[in-house]
Structures are given as C-alpha cells and as structure tokens.
Amino acid sequence: KAGVTQTPRYLIKTRGQQVTLSCSPISGHRSVSWYQQTPGQGLQFLFEYFSETQRNKGNFPGRFSGRQFSNSRSEMNVSTLELGDSALYLCASSLETIRNTGELFFGEGSRLTVL
Amino acid sequence: DQQVKQNSPSLSVQEGRISILNCDYTNSMFDYFLWYKKYPAEGPTFLISISSIKDKNEDGRFTVFLNKSAKHLSLHIVPSQPGDSAVYFCAASDGGGKLIFGQGTELSVKP
C-alpha cells in the first residue's frame, strides 16, 4: 500500500514569491492535514481537510491556504513568501478525522527554503 | 501559547538502559495522547497512544504513562536500542480533528 506522497521534496524560493505544495494521501484516506515543522517549534497545525471541506484551521495568516480535491489529493499554497516561512511542510492522512483518535500517517515532507 | 511541552530538547542513554521521555500539557480538554518518532529526512511515524481514561498503555518495549492530575505523560523505552535514536514528539487531541505537538526530544542511544 503506497504511503503519503508529497511533491516537491525540496524547493527554493525568494521572498515575495508564492509556492504550491502537493500531497497524495494513502488510498482510502479521506482526511488530509498539513503541519509546519521548524526548529524548536515542533509541528504546528496548519489545516485539515475532509471530503473537500476545511474542517479545522490553525493559527496561521491568510497567506497560507489549502484545498482538497474529490480524489482526496490536497494542495497547500503560501503566497507572498517571507523568510520565516522556511520550514518542512508535512502532510498527513487518516481514514477519518482524529475525532476517532486514529493515528496520522505522514509523508516525508516538502522542505521549503525562502531566500 | 504552547499547550504541549517537551522540556528536554535532547536525551542520551546507553544501549540496554531505560529511556524516559517526558511531556506536559495544559489543556484539560485533551483526551487522547500519541507519541510519534521521526528519523531525519523522513516523516513522523506513529509509535503508541493512550486514551485519557487509561493511565498506562504498553506495546512491546514501549510504554506510555499518563498522569491526568499532573497533566503529564511519559514514554518509557526498555531496553533502549541504537535504532531508537530519533526525535520523539508527543501530541494531544481534543477530538476536534487536529493534533497539537510538542517541540520534540532528540534521543540518542549509544552502543
């Protein structure tokens, strides 16, 4: 069974640009969450999608947005990039929302560097 | 406001000994707790979890203890092996569809 696939794995952008990251969840998983990992901050929740609807949102500015398609694939977009957006962006999928406390299955992440 | 805290950024133990990783939380609405392990260049992988109705859950060499009154949980690894060297994250859920993670503790198990 294929795991969670994230593309691209690495990318470098400059301040002011925008970026789109893609995530393909495990087949059959309908919930997709996004997390940002930075040194010393752990993993911070960005948003969660279930059946194409955003069900939860973390405390990030509106420059961070996402969407989910009918095949459960998800994208997140960051506009007007800032140096502080440099991070590892992790996507995770699960069969249902964590309401049933099922664990998350993470991808390997997309490493974004903003210069 | 860090609702889940791992106050030890790193921990070093000898192979065969016990590793104890600690985690504190502040939100009394959390009712499910999980531990994830992360190797460099890989995504976190689920390790073990515990519901707030329990105070202990065991899976092989891994045991998680929950002290609700102290809002504290710990992960015990016995015996520790070099392959356990990784960053360990604790996470908490209030059933609302997201996990709140701690900052992580880097465990180094020396042969």
3-state secondary structure of A46: strand
A108 has a pLDDT exceeding 60: yes
pLDDT in tens, A56-91: 899 999 999 999 999 999 999 999 999 999 999 999
Both tokens of B14, joined, read 């000898």
For residue A50, give the chain B residue with the closest CA: B97
Buried b (16+ CB within 10 A) or exposed e, B69-97: eebebbbbbeebeeebbbbbbbbbbbeeb
pLDDT in tens, A6-17: 999 999 999 999
The lowest-confidence range among A19-28, A41-50, B66-75 is A41-50
Query: What are the residues facing A8 on neighbouring strands?
Result: none
User: Between chains, do B43 and A97 touch, taking CB under 8 Å as contact?
Assistant: no
pLDDT confidence tier of residue A98, bands split at 50, 70 and 90: low
Does position A40 have pLDDT exceeding 80, yes or no? no
pLDDT digit string, tens, across residues B2-19 = 899 999 999 999 999 999
Strands (E) across chain A are located at 5-7, 10-13, 19-24, 31-38, 42-50, 53-57, 64-68, 74-78, 87-94, 105-106, 110-114
Residue A1 banded pLDDT, cuts 50, 70, 90:
low
For chain B, give the mean pLDDT: 94
On the question of pLDDT at B30 being above 60, the answer is yes
CA-based torsion, A54, A74, A77, A21: positive or negative: positive
Tell me the shortest Cα–Cα distance from A54 to chain B, in angstroms: 11
Look at A107 and B43 and tell me if their CB atoms are within 8 Å.
yes
Q: Kindly tell me if the per-residue pLDDT of A101 is higher than 70.
A: no
Q: Which residue has the higher pLDDT, B28 or A1?
A: B28
In A63-102, the residues whose Cβ lies within 8 Å of chain B are: 90, 92, 97-99, 101
Q: What is the mean pLDDT of residues B43-57?
A: 94
- Contact assessment for residue A73 and residue A23, using Cβ atoms and an 8 Å cutoff: yes
B76-108 tens-digit pLDDT: 999 999 999 999 999 998 877 788 999 999 999
